[in-house]
């Protein structure tokens, strides 16, 4: 599990299809102004109000900027040097999904007794706000930094149809759903230990969130692939609280389409990518000599 990101719910106003919920990543930054002492312009015996006081210079005092505390220095791994931008192979700028798919019309839940569901959940997707290929609106507002743009688009265009729930992907294969702020703290390391992973999970649970695993076998990474599975929920309502309650209550099943949905989108070739292809191909050839594939965390 975008990288601030939220899940989304599409409503069933015409009873033609259940709601859809999708989590997005949340990364919030809070800036605080330095605390300043009030101006001193009068004694306690004769208080007066001083407007726009002129600062008094004292040659014996050190410059004011020296007195300010230095900002904390981030570890080197948290502040990497900028990288050169390599164009994507395909051009997604004009991508549109001008069709609708209702999987409930031709699929049955894996638990065939789970029939009165009202939510379809897509629990993980990326946009260009993180490392995805599509813009938030192209992806139907599934996940974006801070969830602010997702909320804005959903409220303006899909009111009462889509509900956005904050989420965040952590270290690629772990996802936090239903959090309102960044829980990283001291554990945002490139290779956290098992104990640090456990502490992170506990922190998310204390915030009222859920922890899930991403990139299961039917996970979709490209718009030219169909969708294969949807989580089903029985939620009391379409609010964030209602959906989170259903998830925590484990009242779920899922739909599974072994061949994937039929409509696909095949983007055009990116001319910038083709122009640089000889150079990038040579670079990839050299890179293959020192790539170290370490696998993924088990989270068990």
**Burial bucket for residue 289 (CB in 10 Å: 0-12, 13-18, 19+):** exposed
Interval 22-33 mean pLDDT: 41
In a domain, 151, yes or no: yes
pTM of the model: 0.55
Interval 57-85 mean pLDDT: 54
Max mean pLDDT range (93-102, 126-135, 273-282):
273-282
In a domain, 76, yes or no: no
Tokens for 207? 């915030």
Task: Give residue 51's pLDDT band: very low, low, confident or very high (50, 70, 90).
Answer: very low
Interval 124-141 mean pLDDT: 58
Interval 234-240 mean pLDDT: 87
CA-to-CA distance for 129 and 227, rounded, in angstroms? 22
Give me the pLDDT at residue 266, please: 82
Give me the pLDDT at residue 98, please: 77
Q: With 50 as the cut, is the pLDDT of residue 140 above it?
A: no
Q: What percent of the chain has pLDDT over 90?
A: 10
278: containing domain: 19-26+86-284
- Does residue 149 or residue 33 have the better pLDDT? 149
pLDDT tens-digit profile of 142-153? 333 545 566 677
In a domain, 189, yes or no: yes
Angle of CA points 247, 253, 259, to nearest 5°: 125
Q: With 90 as the cut, is the pLDDT of residue 47 above it?
A: no
Angle of CA points 16, 20, 26, to nearest 5°: 165
In a domain, 129, yes or no: yes
Residue among 300, 85, 261, 86 at smallest CA distance from 173: 300
In a domain, 235, yes or no: yes
In a domain, 32, yes or no: no
In a domain, 229, yes or no: yes
pLDDT tens-digit profile of 175-202? 888 887 776 655 566 777 888 888 888 9
Tokens for 51? 């407007």
Q: With 70 as the cut, is the pLDDT of residue 130 above it?
A: no
In a domain, 299, yes or no: no
Interval 72-95 mean pLDDT: 67
Please give the tally of structural domains in the chain. Answer: 1
Give me the pLDDT at residue 114, please: 92
CA-to-CA distance for 100 and 16, rounded, in angstroms? 11
CA-to-CA distance for 162 and 7, rounded, in angstroms? 9
């Amino acid at each position: 599990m975008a990288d601030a990101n939220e899940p989304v719910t599409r409503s069933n106003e015409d009873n033609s299809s259940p709601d859809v919920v999708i989590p997005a990543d949340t990364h919030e930054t809070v800036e605080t102004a330095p605390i300043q002492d009030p101006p001193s312009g009068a004694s306690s015996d004769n208080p007066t109000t001083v407007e726009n006081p002129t600062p008094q210079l004292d040659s014996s005092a050190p410059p004011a900027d020296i007195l300010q505390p230095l900002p904390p220095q981030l570890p080197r791994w948290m502040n990497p040097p900028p990288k050169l931008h390599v164009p994507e192979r395909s051009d997604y700028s004009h991508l549109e999904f001008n069709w609708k798919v209702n999987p409930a019309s031709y699929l049955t839940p894996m638990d065939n007794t789970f029939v009165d569901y009202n939510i379809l959940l897509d629990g993980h997707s990326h946009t260009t706000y993180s490392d995805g290929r599509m813009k938030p609106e192209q992806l139907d507002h599934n996940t974006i930094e801070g969830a602010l743009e997702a909320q804005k688009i959903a409220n303006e265009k899909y009111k009462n149809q889509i509900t956005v729930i904050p989420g965040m992907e952590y270290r690629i294969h772990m996802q936090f759903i239903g959090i309102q702020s960044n829980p990283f703290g001291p554990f945002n390391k490139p290779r956290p230990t098992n104990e640090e992973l456990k502490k992170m999970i506990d922190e998310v649970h204390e915030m009222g969130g859920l922890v899930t695993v991403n990139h299961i076998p039917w996970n979709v990474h490209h718009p030219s692939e169909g969708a294969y599975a949807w989580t089903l929920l029985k939620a009391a309502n379409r609010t964030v609280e209602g959906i989170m309650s259903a998830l925590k209550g484990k009242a779920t099943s899922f739909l599974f389409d072994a061949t994937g949905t039929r409509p696909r989108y095949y983007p055009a070739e990116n001319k910038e990518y083709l122009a640089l292809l000889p150079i990038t191909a040579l670079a990839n050839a050299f890179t293959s000599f020192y790539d170290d594939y370490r696998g993924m965390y088990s989270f068990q």
